[in-house]
Amino acid sequence: MYDLHTHTQFSDGSSLESMVTAAADAGCTGIGLADHCILVDDDFSRRERYDLAETYERRRERIDDARDRFDLRLFDAVELSYVRGTDDQIGAFLEEAAFDYSIGAVHFAEAYDYATGAPYAECPPADRREAVDTYYETVIELIESELFDIAAHLDLPERHPQLRGVTTAAHYEALAAALADSRTKPEINAGRVFRSLGRVHPNPELLDVFVDREIEFVLGSDSHTPDEIGRRVPFLEQFVETNQAVTVDAPAFLETTTELRS
Ligand SMILES: [Zn+2]
Ligand SMILES: [Zn+2]
């Protein structure tokens, strides 16, 4: 399989070579190195840590060098935090950087931080609904922007105990409707299968909503360490095996980008 969502030392992951080695050992035929990237300052001070916009050329040299030493395909990718109102900036950066593909992710929106969980425990239920509604509205804007090849971890707020269960079937329906009209593909994301959430994103119980609209998925372990790849890749392979109705394919965008680069 292709694991299209992993992180290296160029954001918050492990050494690039150790991640590629782990993917090869897990039997992957391709790995996507999709480091975090934030273009604009956010309220949560992640911009400095996630500075791939400044380091992607250095990382590209490392990837090119590793390509000579490994049999599997290495994809030079990005997980870019989508921020409302910055479509032009994101579009210009993606065009200039010319990654093999791009993953768009909503990690924060307005005053809400979905990546760390923020102090939602003190929020009254109405505010939690507002936080979750804002999340899905922003993801739908991400999909409709047509800027990205892949939309990351669709139901991210479910990761946090304080926001879990606030997502409704209507949210999934709205995501599926937007994806059906877009080039952007969702991922089956294994980032929390062995801790907290204990399942993939999006909720496997609601996958029919996407299957009914013939939406294709890609696979991403969202690993930050080699050990995570070793555990999550077999999990994803098993998941695909037991969920035959879910279409998972090596997307067409990978065929063209890699032909151009090889
Ligand atoms: Zn993410
Ligand atoms: Zn990630």
Q: Are 64 and 37 in contact (CB under 8 A)?
A: no
Average confidence (pLDDT) over 29-40: 96
Inter-CA distances, 32 with 93, 100, 156, 183, Å: 19, 9, 20, 19
pLDDT at 257: 52
* CA of 107, nearest ligand number: 1
In the prediction, which pLDDT does 76 show? 97
pLDDT of residue 212: 96
pLDDT at 56 over 70: yes
For range 219-241, the mean pLDDT: 97
Confidence of residue 262 (pLDDT cuts 50, 70, 90): very low
Instruction: Starting from the CA of residue 222, give the closest ligand.
Output: 2
d(CA 105, CA 159): 14
Contact in structure between 157 and 167 (CB atoms under 8 Å): yes
Q: Which one of the ligands is nearest to 115 CA?
A: 1
CB 11 within 8 A of CB 35: yes
CA of 103 to the centre of ligand 2 (A): 9
Q: Could you tell me the distance, in angstroms and rounded to a whole number, from the CA of residue 187 to the centre of ligand 2?
A: 11
Instruction: Read off the amino acid at residue 20.
Output: V
Residue with structure tokens 């929020």? Answer: 123
Give Cα separations from 205 to 28, 159, 169, 230 (angstroms): 27, 15, 10, 25
Q: Residues 143, 179: contact at Cβ < 8 Å?
A: yes
Write down the pLDDT at residue 187: 97
| Mean pLDDT, rounded, of the chain | 93
pLDDT by residue (tens digit) across 156-175? 999 998 999 999 999 999 99
Distance CA 249, CA 256 (A): 15
Per-residue pLDDT, 110: 87
What residues does the ion ligand 1 have nearby, CB within 5 Å? 105, 152
Burial 111-133 (b: 16+ CB within 10 A, else e): ebbbbeebebeebeeeebebbbe
Mean pLDDT of 4-23: 97
What are the backbone angles phi and psi of residue 183, rounded to the nearest 5°? -80, -15
Backbone phi and psi for residue 2, each to the nearest 5 degrees, phi listed first: -100, 125
**What is the set of domains in the chain, with CATH numbers?**
2-261 (3.20.20.140)
pLDDT at 259: 46
SS3 40: coil
- Using the mean position of ligand 1's atoms as its centre, give its distance from the Cα of residue 151 in Å: 10
The type of residue at 167 is T
Whether residue 14 is predicted with pLDDT greater than 70 in this model: the reply is yes
DSSP string, 165-231: T---HHHHHHHHHHHHTSS-EEEEE-TTSSSTT-SPBS-GGGTHHHHTTT--BEEE--BSSHHHHHH
Q: Assess whether pLDDT exceeds 50 at residue 140.
A: yes
Please check the confidence at residue 136 and state whether its pLDDT lies above 70.
yes
pLDDT band at 260 (very low <50, low <70, confident <90, very high): very low
Q: Is the pLDDT of residue 66 over 90?
A: yes
